[in-house]
């Protein structure tokens, strides 16, 4: 995976520019733990400070260095590649449900 600059990693959507409910968004978050559902929920919360109505389509990107997490997210990986423990992977999980954890459960 290409190393991302700190401008990209630390950039946040400018205040007052957050898209309204129903807008498809991507937000990246990193985790080094096993619980991808927690990371995904965090990413969705960050992308949607005000919870959108149930049924709103939401997207969050979860970055993990955990091998198990990569397996959990296998279906969502954009470019599957040989994975070794510690390999950094990025996957996008989409949910149309407010409950990100439940959505992730569907993926796994």
Question: What's the CA gap between 9 and 54, in Å, rounded?
Answer: 29
Q: Which of residues 28-67 bind another protein (CB under 8 A)?
A: 30, 32, 65
Question: What's the CA gap between 101 and 23, in Å, rounded?
Answer: 20
Say if residues 58 and 23 touch (Cβ distance below 8 Å).
no
Question: What's the CA gap between 101 and 35, in Å, rounded?
Answer: 10
Q: Between 6 and 35, how does the x/- string for binding to another protein read (CB under 8 A)?
A: xxxxxxxxxx-x-x----------x-x---
| Closest to 62 in 3D by CA, of 78, 51, 50 | 78
Q: Which of residues 79-108 bind another protein (CB under 8 A)?
A: 88
Q: How far is the CB of 32 from another protein (least distance, A)?
A: 8
Give the residue with the Cβ less far from another protein, 19 or 106.
19
- In the complex, which residues of this chain contact another protein (CB under 8 A)? 3-15, 17, 19, 30, 32, 65, 88
């Amino acid at each position: 995976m290409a190393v991302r600059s700190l401008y990209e990693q630390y950039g946040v959507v400018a205040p007052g520019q957050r898209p309204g409910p129903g807008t498809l968004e991507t937000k990246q978050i990193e985790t080094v733990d096993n619980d991808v559902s927690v990371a995904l929920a965090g990413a969705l919360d960050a992308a949607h400070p005000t919870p959108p109505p149930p049924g709103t389509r939401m997207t969050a990107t979860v970055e993990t260095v955990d091998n198990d997490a990569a397996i959990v997210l296998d279906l969502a990986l954009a470019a599957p590649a040989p994975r070794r423990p510690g390999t950094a992977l990025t996957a996008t999980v989409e949910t149309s449900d407010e409950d990100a954890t439940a959505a992730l459960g569907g993926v796994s």
